[in-house]
């Protein structure tokens, strides 16, 4: 989970349902908002950054499908769950196609199952936000990766209904790393090399190839280890200018991981300095 408190919007025209949901989630640490109609829910979304929307399907004036369709259009980052007392296949299909629904839950719901799905949906929200930040940084470093980053974001959104989204996103991220034209090295908080891309694997430092599982200090000067520690402490990007590696001069960006992985490691991005 993200360190920041998650925001959840509950929308239902039945007051007793809203009370039941609030009672179920009150110990989960979320910031809860409630609305008795789709229009009221849209006003709340306009004034607040909502991470997850849970909406009833059968409501007067605006159905849950129509409400979620508007949410998807105006606030696409918000994860959307629908509660319904009906098992109408056509309605479910329409909701999936029109509102890009993450999950359907039938009333009455199972409390533990619903809490688990909400937890997983918010984990997914954090992962999507983390990927967006990474995509933005990659785009700034190499414009040629812009289209790949956009495709990654699209693929992540298309798979929001799948419980294996985290594994798929990690596989896509690894593929992107392998396609980068400059060395990328992932380092754990303990100083161990956890991930390298193809360009990093081709480096030879002091006659030794970079290997996963080795200490970063086996290859780089103490200054690099100091910057890694400082980056983990401050959670800010830091740069080492003019670092000599394999007779080539690099500027090294030390970038902290974010979201659920904050404080667990950094990414080293080596950019060759033009002579």
- Domain boundaries defined on the chain: 7-124, 182-275
Residue 161 has pLDDT above 70, yes or no: no
State the helix-helix crossing angle for 89-99 and 64-74, rounded to 10 degrees.
Answer: 10
Per-residue pLDDT at 52: 96
The pLDDT tens digits of the residues spanning 25-69 come to 988 989 999 999 999 999 999 999 999 999 998 888 898 888 999
The pLDDT tens digits of the residues spanning 174-210 come to 777 777 888 899 999 999 998 888 888 888 887 788 8
Distances (CA, A) of 112 to 25, 52, 99, 116, 181: 11, 17, 25, 6, 46
Domain 182-275, CATH homologous superfamily name and number? PAS domain (3.30.450.20)
Which class is domain 7-124?
Answer: alpha beta
Is this model's pTM higher than 0.85 or not?
A: no
Per-residue pLDDT at 181: 84
Per DSSP, the three-state class of 192 is strand
Give the range among 4-8, 81-85, 153-157, 173-177 with minimum mean pLDDT: 153-157
CA dihedral 69, 71, 77, 80 (to 10 degrees): -70
Per-residue pLDDT at 200: 85
Per-residue pLDDT at 139: 65
Work out the mean pLDDT of the chain and round it to a whole number: 83
């Amino acid at each position: 989970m993200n360190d920041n408190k998650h925001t959840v919007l509950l929308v239902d025209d039945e007051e007793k349902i809203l009370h039941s949901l609030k009672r179920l989630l009150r110990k989960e640490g979320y910031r809860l908002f409630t609305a008795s109609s789709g229009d009221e829910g849209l006003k709340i979304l306009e004034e607040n950054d909502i991470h997850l929307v849970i909406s009833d399907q059968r409501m007067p004036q605006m159905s849950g499908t129509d409400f979620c369709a508007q949410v998807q259009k105006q606030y696409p980052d918000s994860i959307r769950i629908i509660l319904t007392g009906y098992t109408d296949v056509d309605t479910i299909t329409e909701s999936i196609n029109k509102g890009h629904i993450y999950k359907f839950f039938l009333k009455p719901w199972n409390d533990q199952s619903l809490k688990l799905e909400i937890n997983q949906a918010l984990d997914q929200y954090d992962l999507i936000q983390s990927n967006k930040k990474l995509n933005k940084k990659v785009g700034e470093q190499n414009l040629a990766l812009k289209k790949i980053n956009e495709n990654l974001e699209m693929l992540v959104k298309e798979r929001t209904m799948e419980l294996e989204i985290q594994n798929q996103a990690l596989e896509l991220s690894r593929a992107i790393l392998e396609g980068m034209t400059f060395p990328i090295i992932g380092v754990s908080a303990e100083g161990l090399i956890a991930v390298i891309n193809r360009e990093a694997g081709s480096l030879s430092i002091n006659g030794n190839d970079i290997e996963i599982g080795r200490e970063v200090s086996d290859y780089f000067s103490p200054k690099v280890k100091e910057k890694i520690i400082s980056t983990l402490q401050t959670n800010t990007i830091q740069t080492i200018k003019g670092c000599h590696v394999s007779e080539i001069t690099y500027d090294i960006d030390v970038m902290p991981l974010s979201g659920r992985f904050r404080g667990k490691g950094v990414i080293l991005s080596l950019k060759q300095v033009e002579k």
